[in-house]
């Protein structure tokens, strides 16, 4: 599938919070948006929109990934928004970034976001994609700590409450006990 990126807006802010128990870092995106215009025939678009790629995750941290999904959806529903559909293909992209950060192969940053967007576009035609990242260490519940940090951060909060319909989540942990979390938000491109 060919695609075209119509517009890009990207800004980075990093916040570091040290609590009594552990360390939390949040990498923030203001509006990280790509409009992808796939070059598909109308029937292919309709088929892909009607049967999104979902499925079970194969991560050793699947329970944590599902907990992020549940907490984000709970928050969205409390705000009067639709819950996000969990997607295994998007999660695999998120998981690869979390694993690369945990292994020191990538910095804790949104670097490479365009490539992650392109990887998703190969599977799912989309209008918009955004990303939230979190890092923490020393907390008994790394998921709640990350979600709370995202909700308290304006850029992350905008992504959580954004006009998205799908999500993918990847969690990785290194030998030092540091958790890296990546959540990707996607708005599918539906046929006309």
8-50 pLDDT, tens digit per residue, is 223 332 333 333 334 445 454 433 444 444 433 333 333 333 3
Q: Which residues of 30-59 are buried (b: 16+ CB within 10 A; e: fewer)?
A: eebbbbbebebeeeebeebeeebeeeebeb
Q: Are 120 and 53 in contact (CB under 8 A)?
A: no
Q: Model's pTM, two decimal places?
A: 0.76
- d(CA 99, CA 24) in angstroms, rounded, equals 17
Q: Could you tell me the two tokens for 35?
A: 């409009």
Residues whose CB falls within 8 Å of the CB of residue 33, separated by 6 or more in sequence, listed in order: 7, 8, 9, 128, 129, 130
Strands 166-173 and 85-86: parallel
Binned average pLDDT, 10 residues per bin, the chain of 192 residues: 30 33 45 42 35 52 96 98 97 97 94 94 94 93 95 95 97 96 94 62
Helices 113-121 and 88-102 cross at an angle (nearest 10°) of 150
Number of Cβ atoms within 10 Å of the Cβ of 115: 11
Residue position matching structure tokens 């215009």: 37
Dihedral sign for Cα atoms in the order 99, 104, 108, 109? negative
């Amino acid at each position: 599938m060919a695609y075209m990126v119509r517009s890009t807006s990207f800004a980075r802010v990093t916040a570091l919070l040290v609590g009594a128990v552990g360390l939390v870092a949040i990498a923030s995106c203001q509006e990280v948006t790509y409009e992808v215009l796939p070059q598909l025939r109308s029937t292919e678009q309709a088929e892909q929109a009607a049967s999104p790629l979902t499925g079970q995750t194969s991560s050793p941290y699947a329970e944590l990934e599902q907990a992020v999904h549940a907490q984000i959806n709970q928050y969205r529903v409390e705000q009067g928004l639709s819950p996000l559909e969990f997607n295994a293909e998007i999660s695999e992209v998120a998981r690869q970034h979390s694993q690369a950060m945990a292994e020191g192969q990538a910095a804790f940053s949104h670097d490479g976001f365009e490539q992650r967007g392109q990887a998703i576009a190969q599977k799912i035609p989309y209008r918009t994609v955004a990303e939230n990242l979190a890092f923490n260490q020393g907390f008994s519940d790394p998921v709640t700590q990350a979600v709370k940090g995202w909700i308290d951060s304006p850029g992350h909060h905008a992504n959580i409450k954004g006009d998205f319909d799908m999500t993918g989540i990847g969690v990785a942990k290194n030998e030092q006990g540091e958790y890296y979390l990546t959540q990707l938000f996607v708005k599918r491109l539906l046929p006309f």
